Amino acid sequence: MPDPALLDRLRDAVAAGFAAETEFLQAMVRFPSLRGAEAPLQDWLHRELGARGYAMDRFTLADVPLDAHPQAAPMVEADPARSVQVVAAHRAPNPTGRSLILQGHIDVVPEGPAEMWTHPPYAGVIRDGWLYGRGAHDMKAGVAAMIFAMEAIRACGLEPAADVYLQTVTEEESTGNGALATLLRGYRAEAALIPEPTGHAITRAQTGTIWFRLKVRGVPVHVMVAQDGSNAIMSAFALIQALHAHTKRLNAAGRDNPWYGGVRDPIKFNPGIIRGGDWASSTPAWCEVDCRIGLLPGTTPEEAMAGVEAAVREAAKGDAFLANNPPEVTFHGFRTEPYVLEPGSEAEAVLAEAHRAVHGGAMPERLSTAVNDTRYYGRQMGVPGLCYGPRGEGAHGFDERTSLADLQTCTLTIAAFIAEWCGVRPLR
C-alpha cells in the first residue's frame, strides 16, 4: 500500500503537472498517427522523452527478426521499415525494486467522414472537461498518463528504484507487431502495464482477433444481360451472411466458456471495409470485404482461421456465382490468441491497492471482447500483463473523447503503482 504521505505528494505533483500533461496529450492528438504514418509522432516522443533524461532507443519493425516469430502477424498494407518504435529507459543503479514496462500504442484507426465530427478529429479541442479527437481516448490519454506518472514521481524528488521502460508502439490496431518487436528487441521486466482506456477497471480477459479479407472475382457482363443477384457484390453479401451464421454458432457453443459464459455474444464478427465494382452499368466483377472476427479463450487462432475458411467454402457451394468462381480468403493482419490475466498476481494486487487509495473502492474488472497488447507480456514473457487506464468514449467512432478529470486520477493511480511496485529512492 502506498505510504499516505507519499500519495499526497504524488497527488499534488500530478495536479501541478496536469496543465502540461493536457498540453502534451493535445499535441499527441494533433498528429494524425494513422497506420503507416506514425513515425512523425514517434520522432516527437523520442525527442520529448530524451529531453526528460531517459536513455532512448528508436527502431523499426524491420530492425527485429519479426518474420521468424510464430506470433508475428502478416502486414499486407504497411511497410515494417516505416513503423517506428520508441523505448525510453529509466535504468536504476543497483536496482532494489521490481522492474516494469509501461507501454502504450500511438497508432489510431481512421477517423471516417470528417463531416460526422463535431470537432475536427485532429484538433485536440477541449470542451467541458473532455478532450476530443481520434486517439484521444484510444489510447493517447493512457500514453500521457504513463509519462506524467513518471514525471510526478520525479517532481517529488524521487525516482523508481528499479528499471522502468516507457514504450510507445505502433500496429496495436492491426497486428500487434509493435509490441512484439519490443520483446524481440530484448526488453523484459517483471510486470507490464498498458493504460488502455478501461475506465479504471482491470481487464481480466481479452478475446483473440482474426483479420481476413474475402475476395470475390468473376466474369462480369453488361448490365443489359444481367440477372438479379448474379454479381460479385451480391455474392460477397452471401458470404457475409454465412459468416454471421457461423458467428452465431460459435457464440452458442461459447455459452459454457469459463470466462465468457456470462457475456452475451462475446464473439464479434465485423465486415468493416467493402469495395467492389468499377461502373454503375457494369455488373461488378470483383468485391473485397475486410473482416474481423473474435475467438474465445480455449480456441487457437489456427482453429478460428480454419472455421472462417470452412464457412466461406460451404457458403460458396450454395451460390451460383461463387460455385464457379471460388472466393479467396487471405489473413492480412491480426491472428492473435486470447489472453486471460490469471487472478492472484502480486502486480495486480499492487495495482488494486493503488486504485483503492485513489478511488476508494475495489478495482473493478472487465472482460474485453477486443484485443490489447498485454497478451504478449502474459503469453510470451510469462509476467502479468495489466491492462488498466483512464475513461473516455467513442473508440473507433466519431467525437471520440477522453475525460480530463479521469486522466488526472488515473495518472495518480499509475504513479502510486510505480512507486509501490518499483520502490522509490531520492532522485539522482
Nearest distance, CB of residue 25 and a copy of itself, angstroms: 20
Asked if 221 interacts with a copy of itself (CB under 8 A), we say: yes
Q: Are the C-beta atoms of 26 and 42 separated by less than 8 Å?
A: no
Single-letter amino acid code for the residue at 335: R
Q: Does 272 bind a copy of itself (CB under 8 A)?
A: yes
Q: How far is the CB of 61 from a copy of itself (least distance, A)?
A: 19
CA dist., res. 205 & res. 4, Å (int): 31
Show the site string, 26-65: x = touches a copy of itself by CB under 8 A, - = not. ----------------------------------------
Count residues near a copy of itself (CB under 8 A).
65
How far apart are CB 183 and a copy of itself at their closest, in Å? 22
DSSP E strands in 218-345: the ranges are 269-276, 286-295, 328-330, 339-340
List 100's β-bridge partners, or say none. Answer: 164
Is 269 a binding residue for a copy of itself by CB under 8 A? The answer is yes
The least distance separating a copy of itself from the CB of residue 123, rounded to whole angstroms, comes to 19
Whole-angstrom distance, CA of residue 299 vs CA of residue 309: 15
The answer to whether 231 contacts a copy of itself (rule: CB under 8 A) is yes
CA 389, 392, 394, 399 torsion-angle sign: negative
The set of cell numbers assigned to 326 is: 471460388
Among 2, 178, 220, 392, binds a copy of itself (CB under 8 A): 220
Regarding 368 and contact with a copy of itself (CB under 8 A), the answer is yes
Residue numbers 319-338 binding a copy of itself by CB under 8 A: 333-334
Helix (H) or strand (E) holding 308: helix 301-317
Quick one: which segment of 14-22, 97-105, 390-398, 407-415 binds a copy of itself (CB under 8 A)?
Answer: 390-398
Least Å distance, CB 387 to a copy of itself, is 13
- Minimal distance in Å, beta carbon 223 to a copy of itself? 4
Member of 56, 395, 423, 425 binding a copy of itself (CB under 8 A): 395
**DSSP three-state, residue 153:** helix
Closest CB 264 distance from a copy of itself, rounded Å: 9
Closest CA to 351 of 405, 414, 306, 292: 414
Between 65 and 262, whose beta carbon lies closer to a copy of itself?
262
Q: Which amino acid is at 227?
A: Q
Kindly tell me which of 27 and 370 has the beta carbon lying closer to a copy of itself: 370
Among 52, 268, 313, 425, binds a copy of itself (CB under 8 A): 268
Peptide bond preceding 56: is omega within 30 degrees of 0, i.e. cis? no
Candidates 208, 284, 307, 327: give the one binding a copy of itself (CB under 8 A): 284
Where b means 16+ CB within 10 Å and e means fewer, 141-168 reads: bbbbbbbbbbbbbbbbebbbbbbbbbbb
Contact call for residue 77 and a copy of itself (CB under 8 A): no
Residue closer to a copy of itself by CB (options 112, 318) is 112
From 277, 326, 364, 423, residue interacting with a copy of itself (rule: CB under 8 A): 277
Q: What is the dihedral of CA 210, 216, 217, 220, to 10 degrees?
A: -160
Residues 30 and 106: their CA atoms lie apart, in Å, by 12
Cβ atoms of 173 and 108 within 8 Å: the answer is yes
Of 40-48, 94-102, 218-226, 384-392, the window that binds a copy of itself (rule: CB under 8 A) is 218-226
Which H or E run contains 84?
A: strand 84-90
Do 182 and 102 form a contact (C-beta atoms < 8 A)?
Answer: no
By the criterion CB under 8 A, which residues form the site for a copy of itself? 109-113, 116, 138, 173-174, 209, 211, 217, 219-229, 231, 233-234, 237, 240, 244, 247-248, 265, 268-287, 289-292, 333-334, 368-370, 395-398
